[in-house]
Amino acid sequence: MYKENTPQKVVRHALTEKVGNTPIQDTKRAIDLIIAKDGVFRTEEKWVHDALRHLVDEGVVNQEGVTLSLGSNFENYLLATRANFPEFDNTLIEYRALIQSKIEEYDVAESSVMDKLQSISSTDEKILYLTSVLSDAYGKLSLAIEKTQSLEAKLAEMDLSLSVMESITFNEDSNK
């Protein structure tokens, strides 16, 4: 096959153009996938589960079988991570946009409270404001519970009165 005088080429080492992702790039990509899927992502891809293993162990990401979801301290993780890895800035923005859309979807926040909170600059003032809002909401809730209990008591009285009236009507009908 080869000519006798043709020198053979020997490969001592090979270089490839493909460079694998770093673990932080894989983690960011996996987090971006979860955020893009509204906070819950079902996948059997090993690289995604491997990239998020440390976050699952820390409780930042929840895992049930092949389903991954955002944990309760996810934003704290993003805030801490973006200090060392600025590429997570966009991920934090996307996460906050997701949370805002869920707040609007489920109507869990009064916009006037959020607007007022945005205008307050001091953390202490924000705490005071939120404490007063919480106190006001607790007072309204307590009042609503009292009214509900009062209405339930009146309903029970009316039910008893109706039962008595029905029995009287039944007795009058049976006497005829």
The predicted-structure confidence for 109-158, as pLDDT tens digits, reads as follows: 566 777 788 888 888 988 998 899 889 888 888 888 888 888 888 888 88
103 shares a domain with 40:
yes
Measure the CA angle with vertex 32, ends 60 and 51; round to 5°: 60
- Whole-number percent of the chain with pLDDT over 90: 40
Mark which of 107, 136, 153 sits at the end of a domain: 107
Q: What is the mean pLDDT of residues 87-96?
A: 93
Contact predicate 55/77, CB 8 Å: yes
**Collapsed DSSP state (helix, strand, coil) of residue 34:** helix
Q: Is residue 12 part of a domain?
A: no
Q: How many domains does the chain have?
A: 2
> Could you list the residue range(s) of the whole structural domain that residue 62 is in?
23-107
Contact predicate 59/70, CB 8 Å: no
Which CATH number characterizes residue 83's domain? 1.10.10
Whether the pLDDT of residue 71 is over 70: the answer is yes
154 shares a domain with 96:
no
Q: What is the mean pLDDT of residues 160-165?
A: 86
Q: Is residue 101 part of a domain?
A: yes
- Closest to 71 in 3D by CA, of 88, 59, 58, 84: 59
- Whole-number percent of the chain with pLDDT over 70: 81
**Collapsed DSSP state (helix, strand, coil) of residue 149:** helix
**Mean of the per-residue pLDDT values for the chain?**
84
Q: What is the mean pLDDT of residues 79-100?
A: 92
97 shares a domain with 29:
yes
Mark which of 64, 79, 107 sits at the end of a domain: 107
Q: Is residue 7 part of a domain?
A: no
Whether the pLDDT of residue 107 is over 70: the answer is no
133 shares a domain with 95:
no
Model pLDDT, residue 9: 60
57 shares a domain with 91:
yes
Model pLDDT, residue 32: 95
Which residue(s) pair with 61 in the sheet? Answer: 70
Mark which of 107, 126, 145 sits at the end of a domain: 107
Model pLDDT, residue 54: 95
**Collapsed DSSP state (helix, strand, coil) of residue 59:** coil
Under the banding of pLDDT at 50, 70 and 90, the label for residue 69 is very high
91 shares a domain with 136:
no
For the chain, what's the residue count? 176
In terms of pLDDT, which residue wins out, 5 or 16? 5
Model pLDDT, residue 112: 77
The rounded distance, in Å, linking the Cα atoms of 148 and 154 is: 10
120 shares a domain with 79:
no
C-beta atoms surrounding 81 within 10 Å: 20
Strands of 67-70's sheet in order across: 40-42, 67-70, 61-64
